[in-house]
């Protein structure tokens, strides 16, 4: 899509700024971000792109090209969550408006603008389409406002928008990966200290994302239940390990010693978290040594844990993962994102990626009667904006 041409068609003038922010996929470290754990996401080469023209009258007029919908709101009236005509903002507009609100709340200048944006990040699939929208607008307003935040600080504004303006409780990983992505690298991110470093993906590999076509329906209630189980586990384990603040502080040896004091379901949830954090640490060693095969084994182990202990998989995701074991060139696979639908992530030999896609699509169709959208991706750079 030629965004500049669409902008001229929509507003009868030319844009002066382009911005882009990628979606993300998490290769390992699922559901550990709210337990202070370490994660291994990567920004992907599917993104939100926008074209914009600033103004000084405080009016923001947005056109969401994929939805064919537009809205206008004023930057001085963001708190009301209403458009310029006094009507409630549509849900899709809460994300850019929330970013403007979060930036303004920190004393940063937010200019009015006309903007057109589009996305090729599938919505509702676990690839953080909402974070990509937030970070694209964050990058645009930073470029137009004449101020500069470091990347993690900008990601925090996106998280603040989603948590406090949109009303969705999320960790920082999605916005972080969208902002801090590094081409060809996975991001090792400590969600407690916010320290991070890019680590190269194994040479000759590609990230393949398979969309089950199942849209997540139980996420909010299930997410809250699992988060509560993790908090309960910490309270009970603290009777034996008084210095722990979260499950991140419990070693696998300590968990083995004290697991008997946990109720069965709480024990299963906690076991996933403790071992998943340990898997991430092992995976970092694999990446540093370029061992794609062992890294893939850890991905499979992570999926089994999400299926059996955290219980956030579904039959379609399990079929997508199990089918890969018979396809040449696949190092590892697992569900990615919150679960209950959405996508799997696969680490595949790059020269076998296209054959892998065909084989996986055929196997999934035969076993479920469904068609899976499958994307060969590369790890990409994070959010950016530039003048045109």
Give CA separation, 349 vs 188, 323, 327, in Å.
Answer: 22, 16, 11
For range 269-284, the mean pLDDT: 98
pLDDT-above-90 percentage for the chain: 92
Q: DSSP class of residue 161?
A: I
Nearest to 335 by CA among 10, 121, 26, 22: 26
**pLDDT attached to residue 218:** 54
- pLDDT, position 217: 58
pLDDT reported for residue 305: 98
- Weakest mean pLDDT among 2-11, 84-93, 169-178: 169-178
Residue 147 confidence class, pLDDT cut points 50, 70, 90: very high
What pLDDT does residue 168 have?
A: 82
The rounded distance, in Å, linking the Cα atoms of 37 and 29 is 8
* CATH 3.30.450.30, domain 3-199+381-387, yes or no: no
Active site (annotated) includes residue 174: yes
Of 125 and 232, the one with more pLDDT:
232
Q: CA 135, 141, 146, 151: dihedral to nearest 10 degrees?
A: -10
What are the C-alpha distances in Å from 172 to residues 133, 178, 180, 217?
15, 10, 12, 22
In which band, very low, low, confident or very high, does the pLDDT at 337 lie, cut at 50, 70 and 90?
confident
* Domains of the chain by residue range: 3-199+381-387
Residue 151 has pLDDT above 90, yes or no: yes
**Structure-token pair, residue 319:** 């079929």
Instruction: Using alpha carbons, list the distances in angstroms from residue 269 to 71, 152, 233, 272, 340.
Output: 42, 29, 9, 5, 16
Q: What is the mean pLDDT of the chain?
A: 95
Query: What pLDDT is attached to residue 221?
Result: 75
Q: What is the model's pLDDT at position 125?
A: 65
With a cut of 70, say whether residue 220 has pLDDT above it. no
Report how far residue 332's alpha carbon sits from residue 342's, in angstroms, rounded to the nearest whole number.
Answer: 17
Predicted pLDDT of residue 348: 98
Catalytic residue, from 36, 174, 211, 249: name it.
Answer: 174
Alpha-carbon span 281 to 184, nearest angstrom: 20
Which alpha helices (DSSP H) does the chain contain, by range?
A: 3-11, 94-105, 129-145, 151-160, 173-180, 219-237, 252-258, 264-289, 292-308, 315-324, 353-368
In this structure, of 72-86, 158-172, 278-292, the range with the lowest mean pLDDT score is 158-172
- pLDDT value, residue 122: 76
Are 71 and 90 in contact by the 8 Å Cβ rule? The answer is yes
């024990």: which residue's tokens?
267
pLDDT at 127 over 90: no
Mean pLDDT of 197-224: 87
Task: Give the span between the Cα atoms of 343 and 340, in whole angstroms.
Answer: 9
Residue found under tokens 């040449």: 328
Residue keyed to tokens 């089918």: 323
Residue 215 above 90 pLDDT? no
pLDDT of 1 higher than 90: no
Assess whether pLDDT exceeds 60 at residue 216. yes
Long-range contact list for 156-162, CB < 8 A, 24+ apart? 157/99, 157/102, 157/103, 157/106, 158/99, 158/102, 158/131, 158/134, 160/98, 160/102, 160/105, 161/95, 161/98, 161/99, 161/101, 161/102, 161/134, 162/95, 162/98, 162/130, 162/131, 162/134
């Amino acid at each position: 899509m030629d965004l500049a041409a669409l902008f001229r068609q929509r507003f009868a003038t030319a844009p002066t700024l382009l911005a882009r922010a990628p979606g993300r996929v998490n290769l390992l470290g699922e559901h550990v971000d709210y337990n202070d754990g370490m994660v291994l996401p990567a920004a992907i080469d599917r993104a939100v792109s926008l074209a914009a023209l600033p103004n000084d009258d405080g009016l923001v007029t947005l056109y969401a090209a994929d939805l064919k919908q537009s809205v206008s709101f004023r930057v001085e009236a963001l708190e009301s969550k209403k458009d310029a005509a006094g009507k409630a903002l549509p849900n899709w507009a809460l994300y850019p408006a929330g970013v403007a609100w979060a930036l303004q709340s920190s004393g940063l200048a937010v200019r009015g603008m006309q903007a057109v944006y589009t996305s090729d990040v599938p919505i509702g699939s676990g690839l953080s389409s909402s974070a990509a929208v937030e970070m694209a607008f964050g990058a645009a307003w930073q470029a137009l406002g004449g101020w500069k935040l470091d990347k993690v600080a900008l990601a925090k504004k996106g998280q603040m928008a989603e948590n406090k303006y949109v009303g969705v409780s999320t960790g920082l990983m999605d916005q972080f990966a969208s902002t801090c992505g590094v081409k060809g690298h996975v991001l090792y991110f400590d969600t407690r200290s916010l320290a991070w470093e890019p680590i190269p993906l194994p040479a000759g590999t590609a990230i393949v994302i398979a969309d089950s076509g199942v849209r997540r329906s139980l996420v909010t209630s299930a997410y809250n239940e699992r988060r509560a189980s993790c908090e309960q586990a910490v309270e009970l384990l603290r009777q034996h390990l008084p210095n722990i603040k979260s499950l991140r502080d419990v070693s696998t040896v300590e968990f083995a010693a004290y697991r008997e004091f946990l109720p069965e379901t709480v024990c299963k949830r906690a076991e996933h978290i403790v071992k998943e954090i340990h898997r991430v640490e092992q995976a970092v060693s694999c990446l540093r040594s370029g061992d794609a095969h062992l890294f893939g084994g850890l991905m499979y182990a992570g999926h089994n844990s999400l299926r059996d202990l955290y219980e956030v998989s579904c039959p379609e995701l399990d079929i997508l993962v199990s089918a890969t074991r018979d396809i040449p060139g696949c190092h590892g696979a697992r569900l990615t994102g919150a679960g209950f639908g959405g996508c799997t992530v696969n680490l595949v030999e790059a020269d076998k990626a296209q054959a892998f896609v065909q084989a996986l699509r055929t196997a999934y169709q035969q076993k479920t009667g469904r068609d899976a959208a499958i994307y060969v991706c590369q790890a990409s750079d994070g959010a950016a904006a530039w003048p045109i």
